[in-house]
Amino acid sequence: MMETGKRDLLRSLPAVDAVLRDPAGEALAGRHGRAATTASVREALEALRRGISAGERPQVSEGAVAAFASRLLSGRGLRRVVNATGVILHTNLGRSVLSERAVAAIAEAATRYSNLEYDLPSGGRGSRYDHAVPLLKELTGAEDALVVNNCAGATLLALAAVVSEPDGAGEPEVIVSRGQLIEIGGGFRIPEVLELSGARLREVGTTNRTRLSDYEAAIGENTRAILWVHPSNFETVGFTESVGVAGLALLGPTVIADVGSGALLPIGDELRAQDAIGDGADLAIFSGDKLLGGPQAGIAVGAPRWISAMRQHPLARAIRADKLCLAALEATLTSYLNGTAQEDLPTLRMLHAPVAEVEARAARLAEELRRAAPGLEVDVAASVARSGGGTLPTYEIPSFAVRLGGTEAENLAETLRSCDPPVVGRVREGRVWLDARTLLPGDEEAVAAAVRDARG
């Protein structure tokens, strides 16, 4: 027989309508809609029933069920998150934040008709591959350009296009240094991409040292290209040697440079796309949503022969960019062309904000949190922010963070993540750290409300 305590708890579970009439339930429905909230309340009640049957003793009031339903809803759907981690291009939190100019361009493209594939002068069919090309040519010095949906897609398409050229009699080969056979987030591995493209991988050198003579010795009649790859999320130090794009360009075969980060302005020791083109790369490939500060996109610039081959390859349609991506990218590139990128683009603003400005912002936030949650231990401490997103792996950016204590840090961090909007910080040294460098305008109010809710 079921124990009396379990039976009493099950009978005490409120009805769905009772939870929806509770102030917490009404607030939840106001934020997420009645249908989604009702479904979440039903799911919460079923989970509570299972837990009680298994011997758990949860709270079963209307407010407790509404709180459970809120936690269920908070983990679903794409929603705003406050990034207080200090990682500017946080891959898990969406990488680049778009500029106001880019957001306005997206809104216009989304809510109006556009000339996506329409040639206005002739009145005939146009090509989506023409958009952003003049801007990219101007900014990089390349002769032609192509935009697809992401950098991995652009790399695959470039290799496939080069390999498909009818040169050589045997199996097509692409030469890569062993030190550049990288894997980045999501399991994207250079050897596997080469295999998908139809090329045979020809490894040269060692993990830490690859010389120009290694490349020269590997070049043969079936060599279609030399691939130079940005190390992305790691750095090799110590007894090392490598060959840059300029050296590879002297060897004869087509050089594809995957420069990765998309930096167009100087930052750290990043190789910029225009530098790769200037050094003689036939194709330079980079991301739109990393240090470029724009939408997710894969951008290829370089020789018209290879850009044309990429456009005409059957794979191009499968990874083409949509109108919203193209609109945001053109707006972002316009900021560079106008010389206002560092003012317009949130990514660049966060990267270059003076540390004194970040410290003052952290101090203001700390004072607000003391008012929001009296008794909570709050102070400001020096911190280190990072670029993130597979860029500048050893580049440290001085920053300041607000530290929260006086309670168990992991529990507090979890509670902050369950707020609306969720606040994501770091747990370090038994405290929750909220880095001020990655807070956007208006985030301070959201953080204060989350801390107040967490404490109340």
Mean pLDDT of 287-307: 96
pLDDT at position 96 over 80? yes
- Record the pTM: 0.84
Q: What is the pLDDT of residues 429-439, one digit of tens each?
A: 999 999 999 99
pLDDT at position 199 over 90? no
Q: Parallel, antiparallel, or unpaired for β 298-302 and 144-148?
A: antiparallel
Q: What is the pLDDT of residues 39-80, one digit of tens each?
A: 999 999 998 999 888 888 888 899 889 988 887 877 667 888
* Stretch among 48-62, 88-102, 186-200, 294-308 having the lowest mean pLDDT: 186-200
Mean pLDDT of 372-379: 90
Q: What is the pLDDT of residues 99-156, one digit of tens each?
A: 999 999 999 999 999 999 999 999 999 999 999 999 999 999 999 999 999 998 999 9
Mean pLDDT of 402-408: 85
pLDDT of residue 75: 66
Mean pLDDT of 279-287: 96
The Cα–Cα gap between 351 and 270 comes to 14
DSSP string, 260-287: ES---S--TTPPPHHHHHHTT-SEEEEE
pLDDT of residue 200: 87
pLDDT at position 30 over 90? no
Q: What is the pLDDT of residues 157-181, one digit of tens each?
A: 999 999 887 765 678 999 999 988 8
In this prediction, what percent of the chain has a pLDDT beyond 70?
Answer: 96
Confidence band of 1 (pLDDT split at 50, 70, 90): very low
Provide the residue type at 172 as one letter: P
In this prediction, what percent of the chain has a pLDDT beyond 90?
Answer: 65
pLDDT at position 235 over 90? no
The dihedrals phi and psi of 283, each to the nearest 5 degrees, come to: -140, 135
Which residues have C-beta within 8 Å of that of residue 444, sequence separation ≥ 6? 361, 364, 365, 368
Residues of the chain with CATH 3.40.640.10: 100-340
The Cα–Cα gap between 391 and 230 comes to 9
pLDDT at position 358 over 80? yes
Residue 388: enclosing H or E segment and its boundaries? strand 377-388
Helix axes 443-455, 409-417, angle to 10 degrees: 120
pLDDT at position 187 over 80? no
Fold classified for 82-96+349-455: Aspartate Aminotransferase, domain 1 (3.90.1150)
Q: What is the pLDDT of residues 330-351, one digit of tens each?
A: 999 999 999 999 999 999 999 9
pLDDT of residue 186: 62
The Cα–Cα gap between 274 and 284 comes to 8
pLDDT of residue 193: 83
CATH numeric code, 100-340: 3.40.640.10
Residues of the chain with CATH 3.90.1150.180: 82-96+349-455
pLDDT of residue 168: 58
The Cα–Cα gap between 126 and 188 comes to 33
Q: Residues 310, 161: contact at Cβ < 8 Å? A: yes
pLDDT of residue 310: 95
Classify the C-alpha dihedral 151-152-154-158 as positive or negative.
Answer: positive
Helix axes 62-74, 34-53, angle to 10 degrees: 110
The Cα–Cα gap between 182 and 188 comes to 8
